[in-house]
Amino acid sequence: MKRCPGISPSLQTPIQTLRYIRSGRTCACGIELTCEARFEVKSVLASKDLSAIYPQVLRDVIGALTTHPQLSELLPTVLEQMRPMLETSEFAVVLLWDPGEGVFNVQAAHGEAFRNPEALKTLALHPNEGVTGKVYDQGRPILLSSPTEVDDWMGDMSAENWAAIAASLGGDIQPHQVAAIPLEIGLHKFGVLLFGSLESSSFFTQEDLPLLSSLADLISVAMDRARLEEEVSSVKEAGLSGRLQAEAFATLSHELRTPLAAIKGYSTAMLVDEVEWPDEKRQEFLKLIDGECDDLEVMINDILDAALIDIDQLTLEPQPVRLERLAQETAEEMRGRAEDHHLVVDFPNDLPILDIDPRRIKQVIRNILDNAVKYSPEGGLIVVRGELRAQDIVVSISDQGIGISPEDLIPLFDRYFRVKSPTGYHVAGTGLGLPVARAIVEAHGGRIWAQSQMGEGTTLSFSLPLTDSTDTDPAEPTSAKTIPGPEAG
C-alpha cells in the first residue's frame, strides 16, 4: 500500500491508516494523503466478510447475555462485544422507546466515530422521526447504502436532534451509510439497533442483514427480560397475591428464551444462502445448538415435573437397580457438556441392588451434576461418590466451585430459589432442579442436603434406604407409586 511519508511507520494496515485519517492527524501533504491512501483502504474494507467474524461476535454476545443481568450494564457490554464488526461500520447505537416521554433515547453507543458520545444523551427522537422512528414503525430491517438514501430517511429530524448528532461526531457530519434493525419479540417492540459509517464504502450489504438481525434478536431477549422484571416489580408494589408466582414466571420466561435466542442465532447464520460456512464451522454451530437444546430440555422437564408434583401426578416406577452403574452412565452423559471439568465416579464394588426408579434417580444425579458444572465456571474436579451405611446408601457430588453462603443453604431446595454469585456471574436455570430432586428423593424414603464453603466448593448429598431387593431379579419391576405434592407431606 502506498503511504504518505508523513504517516507514522507504525500504521501498517489499511484499517489503521483509515482511522489515522479520520482522527484528523494528517501530514503536510493533506489532500494528497487522502488521495493516495483512501482508495486502497476502502477496497480492503469493502472486501471484509462479516461471516468471518460473526461466529465469535455471536458467542461473545451470548456470553454477555448470561453474565450481565442488569440492562444498564448489559447493553454497553453487548455493543463492546460487537467491536470487531465496527471495522466494517464505524459506530453502533441502541435506541429504546420511552413510552412515558414518547421519544426514543440512546441507551448505549460504541465506536471510534464518536468524539463526544455524551452528547447523544440529549437525542430525543419522536415517533416516525429519522431512521429509528421509521424502522421501529415498519418492524423490518433496512440498509441505506448512500448519502442520498440516508438523507431521505433522516431529513425530517428536528434541529435539536441534528445538533446532538453533530456534537457527538465532532462536527456537522452526516452518516453516509446506515443499517437499522428493530428490537422486538412477538408483539413487544423495544427500540432499534443502528449501525453507521461516515464513509461511502466498506459497509454491510443486504446479505449481512440476516446476521445483524440475529444479533438484534439476542438484544431483544434482554429487553424482554427487563419488561418482565418491571411487571414483577409492579406486582410487588401493589402487594398482590401470587407475587412468588409472578417472579417465577418472569425468571422462567427469561431462562427459556436465552437458549432459544442462541439456537436462533446459530441456525440463522447457517441458513444464510450467501455464506458458505466451512464444515468445521458448521459442526461447531451444530454442537452449540445441540448443547442449548439439551439445556432447554432440562428446564422444560423441570417445569413439567414441578407441575405434576403439585397435582400428585408424578409417579415412580421402582425396579431393582445397580446405583453405581446408574451414576456412571449419568456422568458419561454429562462429560460432553463439562469439557472444562474432570468428572470422577467413585463407588464401592459391593453395593447392594436398590429398588428405585432409575429414570428419576438419574434425573436427581443429573440435576445436581448440572448445578456443580454451572457453579464452578473455572472448571476443576467434580467427584460423584457412593457410600454404604447401615440403613442406606449416600450419593455425594462435590465440586470446586464458588460455594454457597450459609444463609443461602437454608432455602437452597425451595422452589425458584437461585444462589447469587458473589462475583455477579449469572447462572442459567429455572430454580426448580433441586426442588424436583428433593421431591424424588423423599418419595423414595430418602433425604437430600448440602454442605458448602465459600470459595472452595459445594457437596450435595442424598440418601436412599436399603431394601429387600438384594436378591431380586434386576429385570423384574415392582409396583408404581406417586410422588406427593408439597401439601401432602
3-state secondary structure 84-95: HHHHCCCEEEEE
Residues 18 and 79 in one domain: no
Query: Has residue 217 got a pLDDT over 50?
Result: yes
Residue 141 binned pLDDT confidence (cut-offs 50, 70, 90): very high
CB 166 within 8 A of CB 175: no
Please report the sign of the dihedral spanned by the C-alpha atoms of residue 257, residue 262, residue 266, residue 268.
Answer: positive
The pLDDT assigned to 3 comes to 41
Query: Has residue 28 got a pLDDT over 70?
Result: no
Ranked by mean pLDDT, which of 66-70, 294-298, 367-371, 468-472 comes out on top?
A: 367-371
Residues 74 and 34 in one domain: no
The pLDDT assigned to 19 comes to 39
3-state secondary structure of 434: helix
- Note whether residue 129 is domain-resident: yes
Residues 38 and 61 in one domain: no
**Cα distance between residue 344 and residue 385, in whole Å:** 8
Number of domain units in the chain: 3
Residue 143 binned pLDDT confidence (cut-offs 50, 70, 90): very high
Percent of the chain with pLDDT over 70: 70
The pLDDT assigned to 386 comes to 95
CB 476 within 8 A of CB 320: yes
CB 416 within 8 A of CB 434: no
- Note whether residue 283 is domain-resident: no
Residue 41 binned pLDDT confidence (cut-offs 50, 70, 90): very low
Cβ neighbours for 236, distance < 8 A, ≥ 6 positions apart = 243
Tell me the mean pLDDT in the region 292-315: 75
Query: Has residue 10 got a pLDDT over 70?
Result: no
β-bridge pairing 91-98 and 103-110: antiparallel
Domain final residue pick, 199, 221, 243: 221
Q: What is the pLDDT of residues 75-119, one digit of tens each?
A: 887 887 777 776 666 888 999 998 888 999 998 898 888 888 889
Least Cα distance to 360 among 396, 390, 330, 397 occurs for: 330
What's the Cα-to-Cα distance from 136 to each of 75, 93, 133, 140, 194, rounded to whole Å? Answer: 18, 14, 5, 8, 11
Residues 335 and 202 in one domain: no
- Note whether residue 6 is domain-resident: no
Packed helices 243-271 and 50-67: angle between N→C axes, nearest 10 degrees: 170
Which is more confidently placed, 194 or 296?
194
- Note whether residue 379 is domain-resident: yes
| Average pLDDT of the chain, as a whole number | 76
Neighbour tally for 488: CB within 10 Å: 9
Strand ranges of the sheet holding 380-388, from the earlier edge strand across to the other edge: 341-346, 380-388, 392-398, 457-465, 448-453
What's the Cα-to-Cα distance from 60 to each of 31, 251, 332, 392, 425, rounded to whole Å? Answer: 40, 22, 28, 46, 15
**Cα distance between residue 462 and residue 364, in whole Å:** 9
Buried b (16+ CB within 10 A) or exposed e, 100-111: eeebbbbbbbbb
- Domain region containing 373: 314-483
- Note whether residue 266 is domain-resident: no
Query: Has residue 385 got a pLDDT over 90?
Result: yes
First to last CA, the chain: 78
Q: What is the pLDDT of residues 250-268, one digit of tens each?
A: 555 555 666 777 787 778 7
Domain final residue pick, 221, 250, 266: 221
Neighbour tally for 276: CB within 10 Å: 9
Residues 34 and 92 in one domain: no
Residue 355 binned pLDDT confidence (cut-offs 50, 70, 90): very high
Which is more confidently placed, 368 or 416?
368
The pLDDT assigned to 422 comes to 57
Query: Has residue 415 got a pLDDT over 50?
Result: yes
Residues 24 and 115 in one domain: no
CB 36 within 8 A of CB 17: no
The CATH number of whichever domain residue 477 belongs to comes to 3.30.565.10
Length of the chain: 489
The pLDDT assigned to 157 comes to 93
**Cα distance between residue 98 and residue 355, in whole Å:** 59
Query: Has residue 207 got a pLDDT over 60?
Result: yes
Residues 39 and 20 in one domain: yes
- Would you give the DSSP letter of residue 28? T
Residues 197 and 210 in one domain: yes
Residue 200 binned pLDDT confidence (cut-offs 50, 70, 90): low
CB 213 within 8 A of CB 181: yes
- Note whether residue 234 is domain-resident: no
Query: Has residue 227 got a pLDDT over 50?
Result: yes
Residues 212 and 330 in one domain: no
Q: Which three cell numbers stand for residue 469?
A: 431387593
Residues 397 and 423 in one domain: yes
Query: Has residue 203 got a pLDDT over 90?
Result: no
**Apex 241 CA angle, 237 and 246, nearest 5:** 75
The pLDDT assigned to 486 comes to 55
The pLDDT assigned to 182 comes to 94
Q: What is the pLDDT of residues 459-480, one digit of tens each?
A: 999 999 997 544 444 444 455 5
Query: Has residue 63 got a pLDDT over 60?
Result: yes
Query: Has residue 195 got a pLDDT over 60?
Result: yes
